Structure 1
């Protein structure tokens, strides 16, 4: 990666475009250190042509073709999305599978964090009471009760960090037996198993919904809470339509009594020293810009490799922001079965988009384009860098749990909230989220470290961003510097020694299920 004194970045020797680093952009007539003169003003993060580019010539960034020129582009000219034609997606039929030798790296030993170890062996980074719901109908009641629990009960249980209602829009009025319904159902089942909930499963249902609460507790003992006077201390399901409840007040008191029993058990959890191999970290980006692929995401990729070297687990996701870079990933599969699984998830999502009559131009967003990203190819090439250099050891479908230590591709949509929900279901105990345009995104049950791709955002949103990777673009730090800083921050946040900005401010988003099945 090379930089000029006028603050542009060329990522690869073969690139014929570079991006502008300068805050506020560069004015028309600016001369770069190689003598190139800008023929017009170029905003920060946007591309400048380094050579003359003819119509239909390739436009190259990251050493990869991100599109072809719609019009002739002169050296020094602004290359925006209107001048770039979206290329065909890589074919999935003849991709190289598992051909890259597994890189030899030294194990990273001796790194630990203070976590909450669970009976199943998993480790939480928070100690949270999660109240699962089987149907959207009970969401208002659960929200009401959560506020009362926080106000009246939580102060008595100092080792419990929070109470979270896991509300959603699923559960009834849906084709519950359709094949694709497995996605939202297993997502809800697995969210309740997230290690930050300490294996304290508590389900609130209505009673008449298609998704019966017992479905969410398959393979677990199910006990029904029938009335307030003869409560089973191990009960984990309550239905509001139970005839023993006389009025809303008794429903609320029933939930409060159940919650108190779970809080008592959660309050016994204590942090203990755990190896870094117990980390399960989700990597995600949102509100991306042209800096994402040269600052924050490469630093995240470096930290990914550190976690893998320490024996931990890392997920990267977002199918639509992987699809156009899939040819860079299948060679990294640890074996052919993993490579074929990557292709399978790409094919599934291709069909899903076709059914909805959507095409690849639906991504990126208008904000991404204002941040300098021309199309989904450029976005994907910057996105997959979060996966670092480690071999891909497994691929899981949406809503499935992580099965192996190492680097896993967790197939999810690119939507921030859907991806976060699915990564929570997969079992992450901490998330890293990179952003260039800015977002106040947060998850109530999982700490989210937000990393800015540029210092303009990092300085403007100083109290929302946890780590500024824009220092890489300015030359103040290297990718390795920020990668190590992020790794140590992950250990501090996982230990409760450092609180992320979203948790300090109480900024948390709702769960959003991915439901590709029909709604009736």
Structure 2
């Protein structure tokens, strides 16, 4: 990475563009160190042409072609979405598979965190009662009961961090036997298995929904709650339409009684020292800008490699922000079967978008463009840097659980909320979320650490951002320094020694299922 007085950053020696670093941008007539004169004002994060670029000539950033010029762009000119033509996506046939040898790195030993060990061997970073729902019809009731539980029961169980209703919009009026219905169904099943819920599964249903509670518990015993304080203490399913309930008050009393039994068991959990290999970290970005691939995502990638070296699990996601950089990922597959699985997920999503009469030009968002990202190719090249340099050991479909230690590609849409929901189902016990434009995104089920890509945001949103990676752009810190800082912050938050800003402020988003199946 070369820099000119930190006014601009050029990432790769072959790049013919650089991004503006300075807050407020650079004015027309600004002279850079090499004598380049800006032909017009260029906002922070936007690209300046480092040489004359002819019409149809390639525009290169990260050493990769991000598009072609729609018209001549003079040296010192502003390069943006209006004068960059989106190139074709990389063909999925004949991509190199598992051709890059794994980096020769030393194992990272001796790092631990204080987590909640579960009977199945997984480890939670929180101790939360999650109340699963089988249909959206019961969401209002569950929200009502969650408020009551927090007020009346939770103070009696100091080792339990929170009570969360896992509400969603699925369960009825859906083609539940359609092949694609497997995605939302397995997502709901696997969310209840997240390690932060301590294997305490509690399902609230209505009774007439297509997605019966027993479907969500098909691998576990179904024990139905009866309207009695002497009901089975192991009860894990309650249906509001049960004939024994006489009015809303009876339903609420039943849920409260069942929740109390689960809280009693969760309260026995104690934090204990666990190796860093028990981390399952989801990496995600949202509200991205042109700094994402220069500061925050490289630092996250460095932390990703540290976690993998420590024996932990990391997943990166967002198919539409991987698709245009897939040729850089398939060589990193640990073997050909993993490389082929990557291609299969790209192919499936290409078909999914085509069926919906959408294409990849729908990404990036207007905010991404205001932050300097011209198109999805540039965005993808910056996004995949979160994956670091480790080999990709596995690929999982939407809603599936992480199966292996190391770096996994978890296929999800790029939507922040859907991606977060699917990574939750995959089993993450902590999430790292990078942002350049800013978002108050958070999840109540797992800690979410937000990393700013630029210090303008880091300072302005000082009480929402957990770590400012913009210091890399200004030269105040290196990628390695911020990567190590993030790694230690992950261990501290996973241990409960520090609290993520979103948790401290109580900023939490709803679950959003990915449902590619028909709705009837």
Cα distance, 1:260 vs structure 2? 0.3
- What residue number does 1:376 align with? 376
CA distance in 1, matches of 2:169, 2:477: 44
Cα distance, 1:229 vs structure 2? 3.9
1:313 is the counterpart of 2:325: no
CA distance in 2, matches of 1:324, 1:500: 32
Cα distance, 1:5 vs structure 2? 1.3
Map of 1:108-507 to 2, 5 A cutoff?
A: 108-507=108-507
1:518 is the counterpart of 2:518: yes
Cα distance, 1:80 vs structure 2? 1.1
Cα distance, 1:439 vs structure 2? 0.1
CA distance in 1, matches of 2:476, 2:331: 34
CA distance in 2, matches of 1:58, 1:417: 34
Contact 2:398 2:412 in 1 (8 A): yes
Partner secondary structure for residue 29 of structure 2: coil
Partner secondary structure for residue 203 of structure 1: strand
Partner secondary structure for residue 341 of structure 1: helix
Contact 1:6 1:32 in 2 (8 A): no
Partner secondary structure for residue 473 of structure 2: coil
Contact 1:23 1:456 in 2 (8 A): yes
Cα distance, 1:52 vs structure 2? 0.1
Instruction: Provide Cα deviations, 1:362-421, integer angstroms capped at 9, x if missing partner.
Output: 000000000000000000000000000000000000000000000000000000000000
Contact 1:341 1:395 in 2 (8 A): yes
Instruction: Provide Cα deviations, 1:134-192, integer angstroms capped at 9, x if missing partner.
Output: 00000000000000000000000000000000000000000000000000000000000
Partner secondary structure for residue 116 of structure 1: strand
Partner secondary structure for residue 231 of structure 1: coil
- What residue number does 1:49 align with? 49
More displaced stretch, 137-146 vs 6-15: 6-15
Cα distance, 1:249 vs structure 2? 0.2
Contact 2:229 2:257 in 1 (8 A): no
Partner secondary structure for residue 183 of structure 1: helix
- What residue number does 1:78 align with? 78
- What residue number does 1:67 align with? 67
CA distance in 2, matches of 1:355, 1:473: 41
Cα distance, 1:218 vs structure 2? 1.2
Scaled by the length of structure 2, the TM-score of the pair is 1.00
Contact 1:228 1:253 in 2 (8 A): no
CA distance in 2, matches of 1:398, 1:142: 26
Cα distance, 1:491 vs structure 2? 0.2
More displaced stretch, 309-318 vs 224-233: 224-233
Partner secondary structure for residue 518 of structure 2: coil
Contact 1:291 1:453 in 2 (8 A): yes
Scaled by the length of structure 1, the TM-score of the pair is 1.00
Cα distance, 1:228 vs structure 2? 2.4
CA distance in 1, matches of 2:117, 2:386: 28
Instruction: Provide Cα deviations, 1:60-93, integer angstroms capped at 9, x if missing partner.
Output: 0000000000010000001111000000000001
Instruction: Provide Cα deviations, 1:298-318, integer angstroms capped at 9, x if missing partner.
Output: 000000000000000000000
Partner secondary structure for residue 148 of structure 1: helix
Q: Cα RMSD (Å) of the superposition?
A: 0.5
CA distance in 2, matches of 1:387, 1:111: 21
Contact 1:6 1:33 in 2 (8 A): no
Aligned length, in residue pairs: 520
Partner secondary structure for residue 327 of structure 2: helix
CA distance in 2, matches of 1:359, 1:180: 20
User: Mind listing any 5+ residue stretches in structure 2 that lack a counterpart?
Assistant: none
Cα distance, 1:6 vs structure 2? 5.3
Q: Which runs of 4+ in 1 moved over 4 A?
A: none
CA distance in 2, matches of 1:124, 1:222: 24
User: Mind listing any 5+ residue stretches in structure 1 that lack a counterpart?
Assistant: none
CA distance in 1, matches of 2:99, 2:16: 29
Contact 2:281 2:314 in 1 (8 A): yes
Instruction: Provide Cα deviations, 1:337-380, integer angstroms capped at 9, x if missing partner.
Output: 00000000000000000000001100000000000000000000
CA distance in 2, matches of 1:230, 1:210: 30
Cα distance, 1:102 vs structure 2? 1.2
Contact 2:6 2:475 in 1 (8 A): no
Cα distance, 1:283 vs structure 2? 0.1
CA distance in 2, matches of 1:6, 1:320: 31
Contact 1:186 1:400 in 2 (8 A): yes
Contact 2:440 2:464 in 1 (8 A): yes
